[in-house]
Amino acid sequence: MSNFWIYESHTPGYEVRWRITNILHQETTPYQKLAVVETTEWGKALILDGALQISERDEFIYHEMIAHVPMLSHPQPNRVLIIGGGDGGTLREVARHPELQSVDMVEIDERVIEASKRFFPQVASSFTDKRLNLYIADGIEFARGNHGPYDVIIVDSSDPVGPAEPLFTVDFYRDLYNLMDEDGMVVVQSESPLFFADYFKNVYSNLKSVFQLVQVYTATIPTYVSGPWSFTVGSKKHRADGIAEGRSIPGPMKYYNSSIHKAAFALPEYIRQMLE
Ligand code: SAM
């Protein structure tokens, strides 16, 4: 068995490692270090700046949960904006909804999209969708521009270091608010409440200072440290914790179902208390 490992280092006392059999691709893009590796347990994995972004084996959990919770709790998600998400997994799930009329996607780093098309074709499967308008641009700049209005916005960003850092700020959330219709809804990936507690609490309080209703849900994604992963919704009108009347799930899922949708909003005490 190979004796090569990749390490995801978090603190001087905590790192995670995956055994790999092959480095399939490595490059330094204008924005980040990008690698694709073949792991022994998780299939191929995409790594950005040393942090695992997706693995073939568990990407479905993250992508189904970041996409279908907002897409199904909104009554009419016709116009959607995705910020980040260059691997294409969120787009793949959003594109399954027949209500979708147009989706704008804003990814800062074209190389992530190219790598995903080449190494993860089952994830990057919707870049040819006719409803897609793809922008290679900074999500921060895009949000300041004259776009939309959108019904649902999904912020599928990498961790809040490097180019993704400003995607966690109150100014950015205010700009997103202004891009939405009067019943719009945004969901952001908001890190591990246990391990990245400060980031998680900041996202919550920043969204609270902008949106009428803010709700948190979680899912466990084994390759994301540590414990449950959080998603935070800012909404102008609709609650996010159930499927909207008249909407139905667009085909077979591997993780998402209506019970999981509701149950994901039941928070353990340590998370609930962080939101008080
Ligand atoms: N699901 C993954 C996770 O949480 O680990 C991350 C998904 S995706 C790979 C994150 C994407 O956000 C990356 O492709 C990165 O290039 C993009 N990104 C980071 N900062 C951005 C910005 N300011 N504007 C647009 N996209 C950005």
pTM, full prediction: 0.97
CA atoms of 189 and 200, how far apart (whole Å): 9
Instruction: Label residue 236 by pLDDT band (50, 70, 90).
Output: very high
**Which atom of ligand 1 sits closest to the CA of residue 62?**
1
Residue 82 · residue 91 · CB < 8 Å: yes
Q: How far is the C-alpha of 61 from the C-alpha of 57, rounded, in Å?
A: 9
Confidence category of residue 160, pLDDT binned at 50, 70, 90 = confident
CB neighbour list of residue 232: distance below 8 Å, 6 or more residues apart: 187, 188, 190, 200, 203, 204, 207, 214, 215, 216
Residues 136, 64 within the same domain? yes
Pocket flag, ligand 1, residue 59 (CB < 6 Å):
no
Single-letter amino acid, residue 25: H
- 61-99 pLDDT, tens digit per residue, is 999 999 999 999 999 999 999 999 999 999 999 999 999
- Could you give the percent of the chain with pLDDT greater than 70? 100
CATH number at residue 261: 3.40.50.150
Indicate if 34 and 108 belong to the same structural domain. Answer: no
pLDDT at 1 over 80: no
Same domain, 64 and 48: no
Q: What angle do CA 171, 175, 177 make, to 5 degrees?
A: 115
**What is the percentage of the chain residues whose pLDDT exceeds 90?**
93
Which of 55, 92, 158 to mutate for ligand 1's pocket (most ligand atoms within 8 Å of CB)?
A: 158
Domain boundary among the residues 55, 71, 86 is at 55
C-alpha atoms less than 13 angstroms from C-alpha of 86 in its C-beta half-sphere: 27
Its sign, for the CA torsion 155, 159, 164, 166, is: positive
| End-of-domain residue from the set 55, 70, 91 | 55
Average pLDDT over every residue of 20-49: 97
Residue 24 sits in the same domain as residue 133: no
129 is catalytic: no
Please tell me the predicted confidence (pLDDT) of residue 77. 98
Least confident range from 25-29, 109-113, 156-160, 189-193: namely 156-160
Pocket test for ligand 1, best of 54, 154, 157 (most atoms within 8 A of CB): 157
What's the total number of domains in the chain? 2
pLDDT of residue 239: 98
Measured in Å, residue 180 CA sits from the centre of ligand 1 at 21
Q: Quote the domain boundaries for residue 178.
A: 59-274
The domain that contains 19 carries what CATH number? 2.30.140.10
Tokens describing residue 34: 């990008």
pLDDT tens digit sequence for 198-222: 999 999 999 999 999 999 999 999 9
Q: Before 226, cis peptide (omega within 30)? A: yes
pLDDT band at 226 (very low <50, low <70, confident <90, very high): confident
Atom of ligand 1 nearest to the CA of 113: 14
Residues 32 and 64 in one domain: no
* 48 plus 166 within the same structural domain: no
Average pLDDT, the chain: 96
Which single residue is written with the structure tokens 């694709």?
A: 36
Q: Which spans in the chain are helix H?
A: 59-73, 89-94, 110-119, 139-144, 170-178, 197-208, 258-263, 269-274
Residues 30, 64 share a domain: no
Start-to-end Cα distance in the chain: 49
Confidence of residue 180 (pLDDT cuts 50, 70, 90): very high
Query: Please, which pLDDT band fits residue 10 given cuts at 50, 70 and 90?
Result: confident
Asked whether residue 140 carries a pLDDT value surpassing 80, the answer given is: yes
Which residue in 104, 109, 151, 156 is the catalytic one? Answer: 156
